[in-house]
Structure 1
Amino acid sequence: MATLIQWYEKGMTYRQYIDQMTVNKEEMLSIYERFQLSPGNVETLKNLKGKNLRAIVITEDWCGDAMLNNPIFMKIAETAGVEVRFLLRDQNLELMDQYLTNGTSRSIPIYIFIDEKGEEYAVWGPRAPEVQEYVERERAKLPNKEAPEFSEKQKEMYKAMKKHFLEDEQVWKLVATSIIGKIK
């Protein structure tokens, strides 16, 4: 089985990841351009620079959670001096299956922070707790899966969620706080 350092070395840089994106690229970059860390978060993250952390991101460009979380994560990583490599989930199931959500789900993105020795330091993902609660509330409003209108209502829900993730800066702050809380 590959070590975390080997997985890290296999990954793409942020630029390489962006360059290969075909879905949600403009949306993800628009969050990146608009999101700013709070001064308190910047101070906290500067204190992490000496830890020489690296991070592996398991992601896919079609994922709405990745569209929301990856640009915020990159601002955090840049400020904390964390070198990052991206791996596509569907091409790296051996690693993904070591980080299943609730032991069963291949939910993404997953951020695996590793220390100087290549040991796991922290893991975050796929959602901030408050974002998870929001998603669960929205899903609870859907009709039964067998209902004829389910598919249409689900599409409407995903469209509304995407809009919410792209526009609600409070959500961005919740994501940042959650990730920073995991690594500080």
Structure 2
Amino acid sequence: MELLDWFQKGMRFQEYIQGMKVNKDEMMGIYDRFSLSDKEITRLADFKDTGMKVIVLTEDWCGDAMLNNPILLKIADEIGMEVRFVLRDRNLELMDQYLTNGTSRAIPIYIIIDKEGKEKAVWGPRAIQVQEMVNNERKKLPTQDAEDFKDKQMSMYRRLTASYQEDEKIWHSVADSIIEAIVSGK
């Protein structure tokens, strides 16, 4: 299937939100409180109303999607980029073309296309700074066979989720990373 067909198949934002069962309030909280900086808006100026579109491979249970999707939506609002949501687990044919490190079905993945449907950039699943933060947290965990591994892992997830919802520096590192993909076309 062509990327434009995948885009047409995807859900609009309202339809995606209505179907969410997990992380809806958290995601909307970020969406309601996040604003692009003047610098971020300036970097996007050349991409306004160019007919770009984005296919969002996502699932509502994903903490990274909870963080990244509302920031992408603000960027899309700024430049008039249409966004469509495609659920990863029901669309593995597309997902498997965009594996992280060639093996992982990590999400969200943003496939940015031009008005003709040609791929211009792919982004995801995390900004470099967020990945470094996750890596640092993972280093603190005991080995997987340790008795307290699951408890410590869940505690790590709670800390990360809380910082995703509150830390504006994280939000802007995500925005900068997505904007860089748009600007560089990578």
Q: TM-score, normalised by structure 2?
A: 0.97
> Which residue of 1 is the match for residue 28 of structure 2?
29
Partner letter of residue 14 of structure 1? F
Write the distance in 2 (CA, Å) between the matches of 1:50 and 1:146: 52
Correspondence 1:47 to 2:46: yes
Write the distance in 1 (CA, Å) between the matches of 2:166 and 2:152: 21
Correspondence 1:77 to 2:72: no
Q: Secondary structure at the match of 2:83?
A: strand
Write the distance in 1 (CA, Å) between the matches of 2:135 and 2:42: 33
Q: Which consecutive unaligned segments of at least 5 residues does structure 2 have?
A: none
Write the distance in 1 (CA, Å) between the matches of 2:174 and 2:85: 19
- Residues 143-168 of structure 1 show CA distances to partners (whole Å, capped at 9, x for unaligned) of 10011111111110000100011111
Structure 1 ranges of 4+ moved more than 3 A: none
Identity %: 57
Partner letter of residue 63 of structure 1? C
Correspondence 1:87 to 2:86: yes
Q: Secondary structure at the match of 1:72?
A: helix
> Which residue of 1 is the match for residue 58 of structure 2?
59
Q: TM-score, normalised by structure 1?
A: 0.98
Q: Secondary structure at the match of 2:120?
A: strand
CA contact (8 A) 2:49 2:81 kept: no
> Which residue of 1 is the match for residue 121 of structure 2?
122
> Which residue of 1 is the match for residue 153 of structure 2?
154
Offset, 1:40: 1.8
Write the distance in 1 (CA, Å) between the matches of 2:131 and 2:108: 13
The CA RMSD measured in Å over matched residues stands at 0.7
Write the distance in 1 (CA, Å) between the matches of 2:75 and 2:60: 19
Offset, 1:116: 1.6
Write the distance in 2 (CA, Å) between the matches of 1:123 and 1:69: 14
Write the distance in 2 (CA, Å) between the matches of 1:52 and 1:96: 23
Q: Which consecutive unaligned segments of at least 5 residues does structure 1 have?
A: none
